[in-house]
Amino acid sequence: MSGSMAAGESSSVRPGWETIAAARPQLAATAGRYLDQIGVSLRPNTVIKTDQVLAGFCHHLLANHPDVACWAHVQRVHIESFKLVLAARRTANGPLKANTVRAHLSLLKVFLDRTAEWGWDDTPARTRVFGTDLPQVPEPLPKALDDASAARFMAAARDETDPLTQICVEMLARTAMRVSELCDLPADAVSCRSGAWWLRVPVGKLRNDRYIPLHPRLVELIDAWQQHHHHSTRLITAGDVLLERHRVARMVRRVGRKAGVERVHPHQLRHTLATQAINRGMRIEAVAELLGHRNLKMTMAYARISNRVVADQFQMVSDKVDALYADPDDDQETPAMRRLRLEYRRMLGNGWCTRPKELDCQFESICEGCGFFQTDIEFLPTLQRQRDHAAAHDQPDRHELYQRLIAGVEEAAG
């Protein structure tokens, strides 16, 4: 293994890597090169977290496997020992959460997978981290206010005498913005288009601008606010001080206490509006656009909240399900025709849908995560392109989904 720098590789040592660079320069050099590459396309926070994970793994190697001089020497046993260290690590709040362990192993896996796909010399010859290494994490439902509590909360907000509290709380409740997005709204965020008022929420957590239609009540509040606060660069400020999320959270809690609803937090208002929209028939794609979600998996959690909605949807399809289970007595149906009917498959871009034709599908844009989805080796190039697209756009959930499908296809093909 050559220790020389590759083309485009940074010669400077990153902060926190001094010990690693002195003891195992090739480990530090390859990691630094990778971090420089992902810094071009991924969010700064993702790069920082990846830096911390790779440095942590290298320190683990120095302490427990000093024979490893470069990434090409990393074996499966090194990954397994690192997993055990993560599982045993304790913080002031107890052991590491499953989400944290999963994030560490995911970022390490992506690093090893990408450097292998890019054809770098300093990378293991075989896969070292597998999808099964990543711990399963719980998927709790969003904690929304029920309709009665939400009604009391909004009544208390309308009766609020402090203009700043009133506009902040109602903006959050009627737009489903994140509190950080509210604090960062520029002074020109509101505009009128084709007779309708819109709020432009600038680049935020997921790096995507979006427009939100403004409720007439909000138009009134914003107009009244701007009449007395029109010299700031932000839409809403606390006097001469920029609005800060902790202050907004205190406003929300105070209004909640007046309404008899304890421990309300700003993000709960976002969950509440999304849940109300889903329960009243708003399409899942429209809710995703409202919330600024980049994939429907994030939004689908809201579709699981209301038992009433589940009951209504089940009632709508129950007759069709009964028809599916019924065995028709049709003398005209030959065995071949019956087999074809039961094996109905619908062609997709990267596989087939095996959902029986008697069942409607409401989720055609998220087929790969459906239990009726099926694919094979014929679609491997398409799946690989979709996986790479997910990695390039910092979508770890999509990346993991396609990687799992690819692994299944390759295993089935032998």
| pLDDT tens per residue across span 392-401 | 878 787 788 8
**Position 318 confidence tier, pLDDT thresholds 50, 70, 90:** low
**Domain-located, residue 111:** yes
| pLDDT at 281 exceeding the cut of 70 | yes
206: domain CATH number is: 1.10.443.10
* Domain closes at, from 284, 304, 324: 304
**Domain-located, residue 382:** yes
**Domain-located, residue 138:** no
Dist. CA 195–CA 381, nearest whole Å: 47
* Domain closes at, from 288, 304, 320: 304
Q: Which two tokens stand for residue 36?
A: 């420089």
Q: What pTM, to 2 d.p., does this model score?
A: 0.52
**Domain-located, residue 2:** no
Share of the chain above pLDDT 90, in %: 46
According to the model, what pLDDT value does residue 365 have?
Answer: 46
**Domain-located, residue 36:** yes
Residues 201 and 298 in one domain: yes
Residues 299 and 311 in one domain: no
**Pairing outcome for strands 352-353 and 373-374:** antiparallel
Residues 112 and 200 in one domain: no
Residues 106 and 196 in one domain: no
According to the model, what pLDDT value does residue 350 have?
Answer: 56
* Domain closes at, from 304, 339, 367: 304
Residues 152 and 221 in one domain: yes
Residues 119 and 228 in one domain: no
Residues 179 and 289 in one domain: yes
Tell me how many domains the chain contains.
Answer: 3
**Domain-located, residue 101:** yes
Residues 68 and 79 in one domain: yes
CA 200 → CA 184, 226, 248, 269, 407, distances in Å? 11, 16, 20, 19, 41
Residues 92 and 170 in one domain: no
According to the model, what pLDDT value does residue 401 have?
Answer: 84
**Domain-located, residue 8:** no
> What number of CA atoms fall less than 13 Å from residue 401's CA on the CB side?
17
**Domain-located, residue 139:** no
Residues 296 and 365 in one domain: no
Averaged pLDDT of the chain: 83
For 404, the domain range is 307-413
Share of the chain above pLDDT 70, in %: 78
Mean pLDDT of 81-92: 93
| pLDDT at 366 exceeding the cut of 70 | no
Residues 165 and 275 in one domain: yes
Residues 381 and 322 in one domain: yes
